[in-house]
């Protein structure tokens, strides 16, 4: 059973493969294609219209010229790698997503229809959590690049916007980041949970200048104490997410008096940051 090929690792899922993913009906209308960006916790597939994929590979004539438009996902299909012991554990995960939705709202996260399936493709029954998620077009934002003042502006320049358009989009983005940070801070105060803001690709800036959290499944409950929590992959995602929050506040909202902020005073103390760096290093070594 061990060396049985995991269908979820394939680039495309069609016909026979979909049959192996016992919880998906075979369809000719849609194509499931492995997304070119990936993460550690989820298998991510684009759900594309078959006719769009055909156009992408065969091209279409526009004003006598053959063009090959990239098929745009109708949805993103996420299969979580995490194994759940029982249904209650999965319900807890879904509850956390609903919490995120409640505090951040549909404008700031990629909304998802979460569902539980019995996956039998590996020869045994596994409880698997899946999500059919809104596709978010845009560029990944790397919070550590925000120390470069032009980083956000550059996101729009590469889209061919003129100076005024860049300024307008920048304003929208600053507003979006402002509400993102305030809502996350409210969520922390009221619930003691924080989503993973640190993972590669978790935050996306849309062409219209909106910030969206797309990784909605790694949400950590924490206490205001000295414990540095590590997630199931051994990463101190809670501490690093607090640091990302502080970077957003500092670099985009120009809040520089963080030494008086209880959250940052605790999480960003030099001793604690040193420990977090060590944990991060050992995480990357193990990758």
Ligand X SMILES: Nc1ncnc2c1ncn2[C@@H]1O[C@H](COP(=O)(O)OP(=O)(O)O)[C@@H](O)[C@H]1O
Site membership for Mg ion, residue 39 (CB under 5 A): yes
Distance in angstroms (rounded) separating the CA atoms of residues 197 and 239? 10
Angle value at C-alpha 247, between 214 and 171, nearest 5 degrees:
70
Q: Which of 143, 195, 199, 209 binds Mg ion (CB under 5 A)?
A: 199
Angle value at C-alpha 242, between 83 and 140, nearest 5 degrees:
75
Q: Which of 110, 181, 248, 276 binds ligand X (CB under 6 A)?
A: 110
Q: Are 123 and 20 in contact (CB under 8 A)?
A: no
Is the Cβ of residue 112 or residue 246 nearer to ligand X in the bound state?
112
Is the Cβ of residue 78 or residue 183 nearer to ligand X in the bound state?
78
For residue 286 the two structure tokens come to: 């193990």
Residue 100 burial (C-beta neighbours within 10 Å; 0-12, 13-18, 19+)? buried
Is the Cβ of residue 84 or residue 135 nearer to ligand X in the bound state?
135
# of chain residues touching ligand X (CB under 6 A): 22
Q: Are 41 and 78 in contact (CB under 8 A)?
A: no
Site membership for ligand X, residue 184 (CB under 6 A): no
Site membership for Mg ion, residue 215 (CB under 5 A): yes
Considering only residues 193 to 222 of the shown chain, the ones binding ligand X according to CB under 6 A are 199, 201-202, 204, 214-215, 217
Helix axis angle, 163-191 to 237-247, nearest 10°: 130
Stretch that binds ligand X, among 21-29, 133-141, 145-153, 247-255 (CB under 6 A): 133-141
Binding site for ligand X (CB under 6 A): 35, 37-42, 44, 76, 110, 133-136, 140, 199, 201-202, 204, 214-215, 217
């Amino acid at each position: 059973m061990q060396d049985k090929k995991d269908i979820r690792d394939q680039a495309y899922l069609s016909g026979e493969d979909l049959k192996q993913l016992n919880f998906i009906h075979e369809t000719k209308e849609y194509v499931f294609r492995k997304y070119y960006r990936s993460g550690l916790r989820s298998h991510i597939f684009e759900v594309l219209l078959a006719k769009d994929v055909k156009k992408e590979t065969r091209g279409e004539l526009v004003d006598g010229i053959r063009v090959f438009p990239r098929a745009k996902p109708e949805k993103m299909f996420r299969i979580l790698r995490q194994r759940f012991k029982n249904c209650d554990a999965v319900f807890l995960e879904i509850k956390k997503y609903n919490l995120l939705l409640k505090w951040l709202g549909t404008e700031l996260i990629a909304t998802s229809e979460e569902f539980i399936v019995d996956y039998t493709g590996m020869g045994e029954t596994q409880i698997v959590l899946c999500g059919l998620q809104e596709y978010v077009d845009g560029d990944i934002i790397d919070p550590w690049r925000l120390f470069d003042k032009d980083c956000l502006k550059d996101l729009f320049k590469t889209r061919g916007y003129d100076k005024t358009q860049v300024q307008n989009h920048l304003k929208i983005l600053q507003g979006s980041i402002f509400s993102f940070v305030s809502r996350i801070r409210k969520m922390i105060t009221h619930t003691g949970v924080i989503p993973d803001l640190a993972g590669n690709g978790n935050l996306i800036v849309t062409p219209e200048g909106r910030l969206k959290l797309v990784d909605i499944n790694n949400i950590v409950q924490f206490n205001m104490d000295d414990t540095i929590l590590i997630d199931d992959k051994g990463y101190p995602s809670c501490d690093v997410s607090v640091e990302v929050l502080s970077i957003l506040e500092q670099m985009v909202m120009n809040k520089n008096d963080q030494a008086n902020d209880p959250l940052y005073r605790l999480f960003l103390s030099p001793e604690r940051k040193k420990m977090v760096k060590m944990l991060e290093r050992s995480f990357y070594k193990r990758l």
